[in-house]
Structure 1
Amino acid sequence: MIRHIVLIKFKPDTDEAKIAEIFASLSALTDRLPGAQNFTGGRSQSPEQIERGYMHGFVIDFESWADLEAYAQHPDHRTLGTQLTENAVGARDGILVVDLEV
């Protein structure tokens, strides 16, 4: 299984409703794609408070690297990726992605 982890440093003027809309769309996309499962996303509530501005994130599990690649190439993912980039501090610089084999 591949765990896709994304952290986002949203611009201060991006409201929580917009973020919730993006995350709901990512969750719906996860539900539609074979090999994708377990979308979880939201705002950090860490008591450690060392997010360094990356206050939101999400995780999606994929059955294989091929399933992750299908997600990455999906037109809806590209649209949502554009929305994330447009709303992140420094565009792509405000997004961290880590994919772990678990």
Structure 2
Amino acid sequence: MGNNNDSFNVADLGAAYVCSFERRLAEDRADLVNALKTKLQGLAGKHSDVFENLSPNVRKRVESLQEIQSQHDDLEAKFCISLFIPSDMKL
């Protein structure tokens, strides 16, 4: 028992546990990211299928809404730029 090499070191056990926990956490996080990527890729494929299966009238409405959304996004971007760039520096 007097030999330090044979003694039980709780600090080493704690460090090993933390390393093991962090490794499992990183693996779980990677698995979650991969699962989300797979799910999103599946949903993206379904989106195009759903759009193609819409009636012509509904498809036109969706396309019109997409155009309106695009115009809104452009206006919003211009507004945000106007907030941060002084008027004398604008093109």
TM over 0.5: no
Where relative contact order (Cα < 8 A, 6+ residues apart) is larger, the structure is: 1
Structure ranking higher in helix proportion: 2
Q: Greater CA radius of gyration, 1 or 2? A: 2
Tell me the TM-score range normalised by the shorter chain: under 0.3
Structure ranking higher in strand proportion: 1
